């Protein structure tokens, strides 16, 4: 059975990361809950914390002309109503009970922070950081209450005070802003304090590991040495790493580009000159002749990865300008002359290697640009382009987001004409769908 439960244990960045690493957890989303007003955002929740500290401090700065935030919306600047019950930073955990028990998740919640702290965790002070469990069914309620009593007894033995966590049914979960989601995956060196009491349950309940043995066991004895020329190295973890899995699924599994990509444990790199710390996983290294040219810690989205790869592969070239700045190559350019009469095959995205256009759909429009009657199904995105006083339809590569050209309605025999920049393509002979 798939269920959801909501936890609050201080700053949601670290709480999100903690639960995402648990086998059986399907999804973790940062957000806000527990308050009595709708559509909360980060600024409101911060302004409504205990004693209105953030609000009063901001207004003090304004009075002495040290703050220029007069242009912020009234929604954020008005003093909170005295009857306002503030939201707290929370994470919504969706999980599969066949793989992990509710008991395990709730006991993990108790252990990952100090539930005896009132309105805060460590230096994070305010009711927006208060501890809470918001359940969605009766079983979760019973487990929350019984494990509270069990954990209280353990805390008492270690000299801690009373648990003050808010325990009640979930009213509504409000998803936080995009920049808060997977924050520590995007910023591995970001703020992630440890507020654990160190008090542990004797047993936490059922959890089935997704994998037996060492995670990425196939990498255990793999030693990597430089290939020469350009390559991409992905530093992996020997423990389950949700951000590594996400990067593999969303980027690496779909990548067919010409620059080789290899995965390795950091300690198995031999003969490389690396500047970027490799403790975070994934860490993505862009290498040329064994020397790091660029390195990035944490998860990269497909758009981020391909923008970096574009700079690494294309440099300050016309191809990069076309791909990422929506430039246009000259008519009858050198690459057009190379590609206009190729043998049968497929034109692919220069960065991802994803197939875009088939030679069977190519025709000579005499325009000086490669022309096709159609793109390969589900390979491109079209969007309006009204720049320069013209009304056109831009064609974008779906896999990388790079600019390819434009499409017009003047193709042969009532078809369309995809007018495409040859410079952002590669050609692969006899590659058919």
Give CA angle at 264 (263, 269), nearest 5°. Answer: 130
Residue 346: half-sphere exposure toward Cβ, Cα within 13 Å? 15
Indicate the burial class of 225 (C-beta count within 10 angstroms; 0-12, 13-18, 19 or more): exposed
**What count of residues does the chain have?**
433
Q: Put the strands of the sheet holding 261-265 in their side by side order.
A: 261-265, 230-236, 283-288, 291-297
Contacts for 148 with CB less than 8 Å, ≥ 6 apart? 110, 163, 165, 167
Contact of 314 with 387, CB cutoff 8 Å: no
- DSSP reduced 3-state for 290: coil
Query: What does the DSSP assignment read for 16-61?
Result: HHHHHTSTTEEEEEEEEES-SSSS--HHHHHHTSGGGHHHHHHHHH
Neighbours of 238 (CB within 10 A): 15
Distance CA 315, CA 294 (A): 13
CB-based contact 86:45 (threshold 8 Å): yes
Catalytic residue among 11, 241, 244, 419: 11
The distance between the two most distant Cα atoms of the chain, rounded to a whole number of Å, is 85
The alpha carbon dihedral of 46, 52, 55, 61 has a sign of negative
What's the rounded Cα separation, in Å, for the pair 49 and 67?
20
Distance CA 129, CA 54 (A): 14
Q: 333 catalytic, yes or no?
A: no
For 131, other C-beta atoms within 10 Å of its C-beta total 26
Catalytic residues: 11
């Amino acid at each position: 059975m798939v269920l959801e439960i909501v936890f609050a244990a201080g700053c949601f960045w670290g709480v999100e990361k903690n639960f995402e690493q648990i086998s059986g957890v399907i999804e973790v989303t940062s957000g806000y809950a527990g308050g009595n007003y709708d559509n909360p955002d980060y600024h409101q929740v911060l302004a409504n914390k205990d004693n209105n500290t953030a609000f009063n401090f901001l207004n003090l700065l304004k009075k002495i002309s040290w703050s220029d935030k007069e242009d912020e919306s009234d929604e954020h600047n008005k003093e909170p109503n005295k009857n306002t019950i503030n939201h707290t930073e929370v994470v919504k955990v969706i999980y599969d009970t066949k793989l992990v028990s509710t008991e395990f998740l709730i006991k993990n919640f108790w252990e990952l922070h100090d539930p005896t702290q009132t309105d805060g965790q460590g230096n994070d002070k305010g009711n927006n950081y208060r501890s809470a469990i918001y359940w969605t069914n009766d079983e979760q309620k019973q487990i929350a209450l019984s494990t509270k009593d069990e954990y209280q007894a353990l805390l008492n033995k270690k000299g801690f005070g009373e648990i003050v966590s808010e325990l009640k049914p979930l009213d509504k979960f409000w998803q936080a802003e995009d920049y808060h989601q997977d924050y520590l995956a995007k910023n591995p060196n970001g703020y992630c304090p440890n507020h654990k009491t160190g008090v542990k349950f004797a047993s936490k309940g059922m959890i089935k590991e997704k994998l037996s043995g060492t995670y990425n066991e196939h990498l255990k004895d793999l030693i990597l040495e430089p290939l020469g020329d350009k390559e991409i190295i992905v530093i992996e973890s020997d423990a389950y790493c949700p951000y590594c899995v996400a990067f593999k699924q969303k980027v690496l599994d779909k990548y067919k580009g010409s620059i080789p990509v290899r995965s390795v444990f950091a300690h198995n790199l031999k003969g490389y000159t690396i500047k970027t710390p490799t403790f975070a996983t994934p860490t993505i290294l862009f290498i040329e002749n064994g020397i790091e040219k660029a390195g990035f810690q944490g998860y990269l989205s497909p758009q981020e990865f391909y923008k970096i790869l574009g700079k690494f592969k294309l440099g300050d070239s016309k191809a990069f300008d076309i791909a990422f700045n929506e430039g246009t190559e000259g008519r009858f350019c050198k690459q057009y002359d190379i590609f206009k009469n190729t043998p049968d095959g497929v034109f692919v995205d220069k960065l991802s290697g994803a197939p875009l256009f088939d030679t069977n759909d190519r025709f000579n429009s005499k325009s000086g640009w490669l022309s096709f009657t159609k793109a390969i199904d589900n390979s491109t995105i079209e969007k309006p382009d009204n720049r320069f006083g013209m009304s056109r339809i831009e064609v974008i590569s779906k896999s990388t987001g790079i600019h390819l050209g434009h499409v017009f309605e003047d193709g042969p025999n009532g078809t369309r004409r995809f007018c495409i920049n040859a410079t952002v393509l590669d050609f692969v002979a006899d590659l058919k769908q």
